[in-house]
Chain A
Amino acid sequence: MSDVATKPRPSLWVRYTSSSPIVVTIYALILGLVIGALIIVTTTPAVLDAWRGLFSSWNGLPHALNVSFNNVGAGYREMFTGSIVDPQGFWHSLVTGKGWPNTLTPLSETLTYATPLVIVSIGVGIAFQTGLFNIGANGQAVIGGIAGVAFGSMLHMPTIIHLPLALVAGVAGGMLCGALPGVLKAYTGAHEVIVTLMFNYVTYAFLLFMVLSTPFQQPGQSNDLSRTMDPTAVLPPLFGTKSGLRVSYGVFVAALVVLFAWWLLNRSSLGFDFRVTGANPSAARASGINARKVIVVAFLISGGLAGLAGVVQVASTTHYVDGTFLIGNAGIGFTAITVALLGRNRPIGIVWAALLFAALGVGGRNMQSTTGIPLDLATVIQSAIVLFVATPVLVKEIFRLRNVSTVGLQISTTGWGS
Chain B
Amino acid sequence: MRSIRRFATVLGAGTLILGTLTLSLAATSVTASAVSKFKACVVTDTGGINDGSFNQSAYDGLKDAAKADNNISYTYLSSSASTDYAPNINQFISEKCGIIVTVGFLMDTATKNAANAHPSQKFAIVDDAPAVKKGTHVSALQYETDQAGFLGGILAAGSSKTGVVATYGGENFSAVTLYENGFVAGVRYYDLTYKKKVTVLGWTPPKVACNLNKCAGTGTFVNSFTDQTAGKSDTTAFFAEHADIVFPVAGSVGLGSVAAAKLAGAGHSIIWVDSNGCIQEKADCKYFLGTVAKGVEPSVEAAVLSAAKGTFKSGSYIGTLKNNGTALEYGGISVPSSLKAEIATAKAGIIAGTISVNPNKYPAVK
- Give A contacts to B, CB under 8 Å: 16-17, 30, 34, 37, 69-70, 72-74, 76-77, 80, 82, 88, 102, 105, 109, 208, 212, 221-224, 244, 246, 313, 317-318, 322-330, 362, 365-366, 368-370, 372, 375, 399-400
Contact = CB atoms under 8 A, between A and B. Distances in A.
B280 interface: no
Contacts of B27: 70, 73-74, 77
A327 B46 CA distance: 11
Contacts of A208: 223
Contacts of B91: 82, 365-366, 369
Contact of B41 (A221, A369, A400): A369
Contact of B23 (A70, A221, A326): A70
Contact of B20 (A72, A318, A328, A329): A72
Contact of B81 (A77, A246, A325, A369): A325
A289 to B, nearest CB: 41
A324 B78 contact: no
B83 A400 contact: no
Contact of A244 (B6, B90, B224): B90
Contacts of A324: 46, 81-82, 224
Interface of B: 2, 5-6, 9-10, 13, 16-17, 19-20, 23-28, 30-31, 41, 46, 75-78, 80-84, 86-88, 90-92, 94-95, 106, 117, 171-173, 216, 223-224, 226
Nearest to B46: A324
A69 B30 contact: no
17 contacts: A17-B10, A69-B23, A70-B26, A73-B20, A73-B24, A77-B28, A223-B171, A244-B90, A246-B86, A324-B46, A325-B81, A326-B81, A328-B226, A329-B81, A365-B88, A375-B78, A400-B2
Given A223-B173, A322-B82, 7 more contacts: A74-B27, A77-B24, A222-B216, A223-B171, A224-B223, A323-B223, A324-B46
Contacts of A34: 16
Given A69-B20, A369-B92, A317 B83 contact: yes
Contacts of A72: 20, 23
Q: Which of B2, B10, B27 has the most CB of A within 10 A?
A: B27
Contacts of B95: 369-370
A17 B90 CA distance: 43
A327 B75 CA distance: 26
Contacts of B106: 223, 322
A105 B24 contact: no
A109 B65 CA distance: 32
B80 A365 contact: no
Contacts of A369: 41, 75-77, 91-92, 95
A16 B117 CA distance: 49
A34 B15 CA distance: 13
Which 3 pairs show the lowest CB-CB distances between chains A and B? A330-B81, A329-B80, A73-B23
A70 B30 contact: yes
B16 A365 contact: no
A372 B39 CA distance: 14
Contact of A400 (B6, B216, B226): B6
Question: Interface centre among B83, B90, B223, by most A CB within 10 Å?
Answer: B83
A17 B223 contact: no
Contact of A222 (B80, B88, B172): B172
Contacts of B24: 73-74, 76-77, 80
Contact of B82 (A109, A318, A365): A318
A30 B13 contact: yes
Contacts of A246: 86-87
A223 B23 contact: no
B117 A244 contact: yes
A17 B3 CA distance: 10
A323 B10 CA distance: 49
Nearest to A221: B173
A105 B90 contact: yes
A368 B10 contact: no
Contacts of A77: 24-25, 27-28
Nearest to B226: A328
A368 B30 contact: no
A362 B88 CA distance: 10
Contact of B87 (A37, A109, A370): A109
B77 A368 contact: yes
B171 A224 contact: yes
A222 B10 CA distance: 60
Nearest to A379: B80
Contacts of A368: 77
A128 B117 CA distance: 44
Contacts of B6: 17, 400
B10 A365 contact: no
Given A70-B30, A369-B77, A400-B2, A30 B117 contact: no
A278 to B, nearest CB: 33
A73 B87 CA distance: 24
A161 B229 CA distance: 44
Contacts of B26: 70, 73
A318 B83 CA distance: 7
A400 B23 contact: no
Given A69-B20, A369-B41, A400-B6, A328 B81 contact: yes
Contacts of B30: 70, 74
A244 B24 CA distance: 29
A105 B226 CA distance: 31
Nearest to B215: A222
A401 to B, nearest CB: 8
A368 B42 CA distance: 12
Nearest to A398: B9
A109 B91 CA distance: 10
Contacts of B41: 369
A79 to B, nearest CB: 10
